Structure 1
Amino acid sequence: MQLIYARQVGCKAVSPALRATSHWAAGNRGGARITPWRASATATSSSALSRRCYAIDLKSIDRKWRQKWREDEANQPRVHQDLSSQDDGRKPNYVLPMFPYPSGALHLGHLRVYTIADVVARYHRLRGDDVLLPMGWDAFGLPAENAALERGIAPRAWTSTNIAKMKEQLDFMNGTWDWSREVTACEPEFYKHTQKLFLMLHERGLAYQAEAEVNYDPVDKTVLANEQVDANGCSWRSGAKVEKRNLKQWFLRISEYREALLRDLDELAKENAWPERVVSQQKNWLGKSAGAMIKFPVIAFGGADLGAAIEVFTTRPDTLFGVQYIALAASHPVISQLAQTDAELQAFLDTLPGLPSDSKVGYLLPQLRAINPLAYHDETPDTTKASMPIYVAPYVLGDYGEGAVMGVPGHDVRDHSFWKTHQADQPIRMVLSASEDESTTVIPYDGPFVSHGVMNHHSGPFKGKLSQEAGQILVRMLEAADLAKPVEKWRLRDWLISRQRYWGAPIPIIHCNSCGAVPVPDEELPVELPNVDKHWAEGKTGNALESSPDFVNTTCPKCKGAARRDTDTMDTFVDSSWYYARFTDPLNASQLFSPEASKMLPVDTYIGGIEHAILHLLYARFIFKFLASTSLMPEFTEETSSSAEPFKRLITQGMVHGKTYINPDNEAFLKPDDVDLSDPSRPKIIATGGLAKVTFEKMSKSKHNGVDPTRFITNYGADATRAHMLFQAPVGDVLNWDESKISGVTRWLQRLYDQVVAISASANELGDAKKSLASRYPKVHSMNAAELLQWDADVELWREVQRTIISTTQSYNEVYSLNTVVSDLMSLTNSLVSSKADMAIKKEAANTLTQLLAPITPAFAEECWSELNPSKGPVFVTGRFPTEDGTLESAMLQPRYQSCAVQINGKMRGVVDIAPPPAELKGDALKDWMISAIIDTELGKERFVEGKYDLKKAKRAIPVRGGKVINFVL
């Protein structure tokens, strides 16, 4: 190991000559070790063991072991094979972090997710599993194309450079990625199979082309899926206001799998395999609604022929008596027809693309009125029978239901807001009450009554009925008159995958005037992206494929006539919907993966951000269910394929927030260089001398709170950075990144290594603590005072070791509580430092601690392991994750004494050390034993034998927590 020498009080100077002659067995750890002089290295006292004359250089340890790992990898390269076919008894375990977009620089969010993944993988590898931890690149997408336009270079060149940078950064964090399985979405070897997947879907009728109103991003000049448009109608990437356009697009029929996608969420939610938040978001996005389609007859003025009725879907037929208007989406057929002759209506429609989706503007259609279908029943109240206005309203979605809603201001928040905007002087009709006394028939000041309740007097003959029951009756009644029918609606829409951009997987379809849309033959795949360097150099916008005649012009595979290639490329979410399966068989040239390799699926542990809850994870589930129905995955039958899931367990890590400095005078964000941090607790603004406000916020350039993880690792070492990142917060919580707190981690690692070095230098060999303690336990009662002190020290340390094995194993398995692994190992380190246990037991404790620590700080653990076990190989080869030895609950490991708080009539009167009471004692026998034990102590003799607190006069004794607390009633 490379060490930095430090002068400390009580340390002797070490001559260069002496340092040069120190050595160890070259070959075991790949080189000579320089060993500085140590104070009392062979002493067994805790004070001697804690003294040192050197400081560890964690960065040098990182470099040393990364080099060793690279050499081992070169000497024993990984072989592509189905992990599940291994005959060595090891259990396959597939751990996968979401593969990154190659932006060119890792940020702390990357570092967090990949640290977690590597820790989980190393833990399972130490448990004896055959672990797969691959890495690849989500390399297609708009950012690369935009960067190419800005720089005048091809997207491939920019992407390749970024991949090389990020690959180096990933290795810098001491990861154990299987680079032999690396996949890159923009390489023809990968997107050949993305195209093959598209054609498989097309053959099954699950990929189709249709003209539809689409979301068009005018900045990025491409079409967006509904999921890529935020609540304000803006693009998820560029932030531009999205426009509506009618274009012919390619879709994947995800709606075919909607029932299975919804049903299997309940299975994923079991035992918290998937976070409840993700399950809930997917259920909401799928949006299954049971309701009714209701016809509202229309009265048209001016001779307009618009049909007899407007159909409306509702999930609340119980509110039908309260309908006061009808609202139509701008895309409704009635509106399209009226706009041809109504210039004012057309002018209003032209303003809608720039409005937010929740806008309450509306256009009253003067030539139309609607009639409530209940108006034809004699007992319906007159207010319900009256005709009602019809509006065009942007808050009505054209692709949900029938593009029409029945406006119920008294019982719907959006309808209430719209009505108050357009009919402020008109009363709001409440038809439901919370109870039969109609206490909520007058609209409350804070909004409508939106819950189910009891029908009130505005509901005619249904007054007094429970609203849900009344709704069902109303639908049946109107159904008999052909004015309603029960229906089921879904929010989910088919997946629009067409993108009018260059940097994506080309859609493998050829368009022929005679034959129509013809799939590219399998032997002609991949359809490769052409080189269009001139396009980027000249800074042209739009789809470069359309201006590439050599790419576009081709021949029809069927008739051999002139034809054109499809110039759309696929949404990058298609790549990420199946990449995890490609890792199982990355070199397969003819198939996405082989049936044999599919046995490695599904992924056991998938790790990534909550922001992918809907898009990526929903699409991946859909594609995996489809793949399970093909010959690629023969283990699934036609009946079971729809239940296939790609990720057994999903871990969603929290975001990383950076320390942010704010000027309280103007709320401006300050650069760290603008703040005097000589006293971190009182950061001063250099320009004004005032105190800066400190918060932790999402990292961004505008807030000047970003942190370069590479710089951090360079300063502190990868292992210290990993431990610091895990220690600061539970995996699922937001992590407030505070660089100053890493000093606690580095001090801990220093203290631990001091102990390891001193223990390894002792003459004692590694023993078996369990056997040693078991052989001495029968002699405890005959031991002298010194022997008892030694026994107590040995038992106390080994008990702490066993507790730590149990707690860390549980935390590693849970993943979300990895922070407690670090804190538990810090506690065990403290126990090791302070313990006066026998050196053989301390050595075994240190060995155990090293193995427990190895997944988190792998290079540091290797260094400790090589100190403790110089004749063995690396810890990840020769070590195993410790398991409890069964002694924790045994009588042997119980402490001979425990503190007992003595209470008299509920008030504390003293604390004594006594032996734990025998477990079989109950009632008076236990009381008598406790009294005897307590009064046998010095404090007991002094305070509890005679006088006011004479325990022998106690009427009753109430022991708690195994005798650690006892209350005597006198």
Structure 2
Amino acid sequence: MFPYPSGRLHMGHVRVYTISDAIGHFQRMRGHEVLNPMGWDAFGLPAENAAIERNLDPEDWTKSNIQSMRGQLDDLGLCFNWDREVTTCLPDYYKWTQYLFIKLFESGLAYQKEAVVNWDPVDQTVLADEQVDESGRSWRSGALVEQKLLTQWFIKTTNYAKPLLDALEELPEWYGVKAMQANWIGECTGCYFDYRLKVNLYFLLCSLLSFFLYFFSCRYSLDDFTRPNVPNFTLFSQFFLLFRPFRRHLADHWLPVDVYIGGKEHAVMHLYYARFLSHFCRDQGLVAHREPFRKLLVQGLIKGQTFKLADGGQYLRKEEIDFTGKEPVALSGGPVEVTWEKMSKSKHNGLDPQEVVQQYGVDTVRLYILYAAPPEQDILWNVKTDALPGVLRWQSRLWQLVTKLRGARELGDVPNPSLLKKKELAEAKKIWENKNYAIQEVTAHFTEDFLFNAAISRLMGLTNTLTSAQVGVLQHSVEFEEALAALVLMTAPMAPHLASELWAGWWLFLDPRKPSKITKVLQQSWPIVDPQYLEVPDFVEVSVLINNKPCGKVAVPLQVSKDVSRVQHLVLESAVGQKHLSERSIKRAILSPRTALINFLVEE
């Protein structure tokens, strides 16, 4: 989603753009072309109201805010395709909105008629039903909404209701949103009744059935949307089409969008209008596709701790509260209700991203956002939780690994695996296995479920394995060197600045026979799983336990490793079985269904 240029980014912006930036870096490292655009949703009453309050021209106010917010995005180290930047209040953008409206009008989908509308007396504008809260007040001005009869423009979206409903079946990766859209669109079915009047009265007494049909079709089918001007979330619905306005070869090359990132609140507004316009543009021959987005990544909110008076609900600043007791109380007297709510200036629970970045660093903030919760869940911003200390410790341990490698390599010449002892060889093999497992898991999280918190946890696990390695393994193991390289590369999309420094450090201690020129970490290829790791082994090493105590391992053919009687027979014939079980009475043998393990219960 493109931000509204209010002048400052908020933490919600930081979350959505951190996610898109990480995905973009990952896909580039896999060799894909990536378009990660940026623009400004710059039309609307807030700019006009803010300009009036400050006695400024709305255009000057908006352009100044764009400049400021662009600087903030640069400070966050976000990688956008700035050559595709759009600003909706500029003629080179909105001329295409006007063009689309004319196309809708020519197709009979845009028309005028009188209608009762929601009128905001403060902002002097019409509101959609979705812009009126449960108290009947405007979502922005807070004014009590009035009902007014006005001549309105309508867009006949109902003409596309059936194809839009049917096409949801073609969107398997719209998790949690398809049902919401299907319920929003609904199936409008019914019958036409022509009643003959028995008495010429000035009103018609209709049956309960006809009243029900009228009420149901009006309240529970998809209404045509009405506005005095096209709503901003409709304008926003065209962003994905207008980076190079309607150049067919470019649209066909880039579209549909592979990943849409945004909040679930857009499920039945922005996403619906985006789909409607995409279907319409396909029918007009402007694009080749009907559906605009392949996959949805629905993100939750970042919530801040909120304090308000238990009586009256007035929001309080922290400095207006006494925290010395067991329960917080207002300095003015009275109990305080503590909740977690969406960050807002009016609730005094917001955070300035710039201040947070200055305190903790860009990559720490990025990692915290990705690690604190899965994308679809809300984050309760609290730096005292385990998430922030966890990512701080992890970054420190990554630095220590590179330092350990340097210290080990300074003890001798180039790595010589032939010098590794048997125990060290086993440790090197474990590192190799953990590296491949981490690559497999992290790649899946980036491509399938976007569970970046799980990806970071897996990288922390690989870090633990490398941290526990002996000096001999660091000094002479190629596996350690390759695993550390893979660890840094997989960290790069999420913490690019840290990874760049780690990568430079890793290059300093490579085998001198390799090229010495340091290349940028984000220009490297994403690590892949070694083919040998994917090979199915012919034999499996089964751990043998006797009365829950380990006594050795036995290699058994893979094809019989799940057959308890066959495994028991092979163990009894092995050296381990001859030594520990030949003269003992076996009561029962238990083969683990999850791991290669068999437990013999014997009489003592």
TM-score computed with the length of structure 2 as normaliser: 0.86
Matched with 2:241 is 581
Matched with 1:287 is 186
Q: Following TM superposition, by how much is the alpha carbon of 1:622 offset from its aligned partner in structure 2, in angstroms?
A: 0.8
Matched with 2:489 is 851
Letter in 2 for 1:497: R
Matched with 2:571 is 930
Q: Following TM superposition, by how much is the alpha carbon of 1:279 offset from its aligned partner in structure 2, in angstroms?
A: 1.7
Q: Spell out the pairing of 1:605-624 with structure 2 (5 A cutoff).
A: 605-624=259-278
Letter in 2 for 1:656: I
Q: Following TM superposition, by how much is the alpha carbon of 1:829 offset from its aligned partner in structure 2, in angstroms?
A: 0.8
Q: Spell out the pairing of 1:540-619 with structure 2 (5 A cutoff).
A: 570-583=230-243, 585=244, 592-599=245-252, 600-619=254-273
Number of aligned residue pairs: 583
1:875 matched to 2:535? The reply is no
Whole-Å separation in 2 of the counterparts to 1:189 and 1:804: 47
CA offsets 1:766-810 (integer angstroms, 9 cap, x no match): 99xxxx99xx8xxxxxx9xx7220111101111110110011011
Whole-Å separation in 2 of the counterparts to 1:690 and 1:747: 41
What secondary structure is seen at the aligned counterpart in 1 of 2:34?
strand
Match of 1:806 among 405, 420, 440: 440
CA offsets 1:252-306 (integer angstroms, 9 cap, x no match): 22122111111111222x2xx1122x22222222122434456788897xx8432
Matched with 1:382 is none
Which of 1 and 2 has higher RCO (CA within 8 Å, sep 6+)?
1
Matched with 1:842 is 480
Letter in 1 for 2:301: M
Matched with 2:224 is 494
Matched with 2:153 is 250
1:823 matched to 2:476? The reply is no
Letter in 2 for 1:653: Q
Match of 1:275 among 168, 175, 194: 175
CA contact (8 A) 2:114 2:149 kept: yes
Q: Relative to total residues, which structure has the larger helix share, 1 or 2? A: 2
The farther-off stretch of 186-195 and 221-230 is 221-230
CA offsets 1:881-926 (integer angstroms, 9 cap, x no match): 1111123355889997x755544xxxxx434453454424455442
1:215 matched to 2:118? The reply is yes
Q: Following TM superposition, by how much is the alpha carbon of 1:968 offset from its aligned partner in structure 2, in angstroms?
A: 3.4
Matched with 2:378 is 734
1:954 matched to 2:583? The reply is no
Letter in 1 for 2:109: L
Matched with 1:144 is 47
1:185 matched to 2:85? The reply is no
CA contact (8 A) 1:99 1:135 kept: yes
CA contact (8 A) 1:212 1:249 kept: yes
Identity of aligned residues (%): 36
Match of 2:297 among 648, 651, 654: 651
Unmatched segments (≥5 aa) in structure 1: 1-97, 317-395, 404-489, 500-569, 586-591, 637-643, 777-782, 904-908
Q: Following TM superposition, by how much is the alpha carbon of 1:314 offset from its aligned partner in structure 2, in angstroms?
A: 7.0
What secondary structure is seen at the aligned counterpart in 2 of 1:789?
helix
Aligned-residue Cα RMSD (Å) equals 3.5
- 1:231–1:677: structure 2 CA closer, same or farther, 3 Å change rule? closer
CA contact (8 A) 1:766 1:843 kept: no
Q: Following TM superposition, by how much is the alpha carbon of 1:962 offset from its aligned partner in structure 2, in angstroms?
A: 4.5
Matched with 2:513 is none
CA contact (8 A) 1:228 1:235 kept: yes
What secondary structure is seen at the aligned counterpart in 2 of 1:888?
helix
Matched with 2:363 is 719
Whole-Å separation in 2 of the counterparts to 1:226 and 1:753: 54
Whole-Å separation in 1 of the counterparts to 2:404 and 2:489: 18
- 1:920–1:601: structure 2 CA closer, same or farther, 3 Å change rule? closer
Q: Spell out the pairing of 1:161-176 with structure 2 (5 A cutoff).
A: 161-176=64-79
CA contact (8 A) 2:589 2:598 kept: no
Q: Following TM superposition, by how much is the alpha carbon of 1:104 offset from its aligned partner in structure 2, in angstroms?
A: 1.4
CA contact (8 A) 1:759 1:839 kept: no
Letter in 1 for 2:527: P
- 1:687–1:619: structure 2 CA closer, same or farther, 3 Å change rule? closer
What secondary structure is seen at the aligned counterpart in 2 of 1:130?
coil
CA contact (8 A) 1:675 1:683 kept: no
CA contact (8 A) 1:108 1:708 kept: yes
Match of 1:964 among 588, 597, 600: 597
Q: Following TM superposition, by how much is the alpha carbon of 1:826 offset from its aligned partner in structure 2, in angstroms?
A: 1.0
What secondary structure is seen at the aligned counterpart in 2 of 1:180?
helix
Match of 1:696 among 322, 335, 340: 340
CA offsets 1:729-759 (integer angstroms, 9 cap, x no match): 0111111111134222112111101212332
Matched with 2:553 is 914
What secondary structure is seen at the aligned counterpart in 1 of 2:181?
helix
CA contact (8 A) 1:296 1:311 kept: no
Whole-Å separation in 2 of the counterparts to 1:792 and 1:927: 27
Letter in 1 for 2:259: T
Match of 1:131 among 19, 34, 42: 34
Whole-Å separation in 1 of the counterparts to 2:60 and 2:273: 29
CA contact (8 A) 1:914 1:933 kept: no
- 1:687–1:170: structure 2 CA closer, same or farther, 3 Å change rule? same
Q: Spell out the pairing of 1:623-772 with structure 2 (5 A cutoff).
A: 623-633=277-287, 635=288, 644-660=290-306, 671-673=317-319, 695-741=339-385, 742-760=388-406, 762=409
CA contact (8 A) 2:305 2:339 kept: yes
Unmatched segments (≥5 aa) in structure 2: 509-516
The farther-off stretch of 686-695 and 724-733 is 686-695
- 1:901–1:159: structure 2 CA closer, same or farther, 3 Å change rule? farther
Letter in 2 for 1:628: R
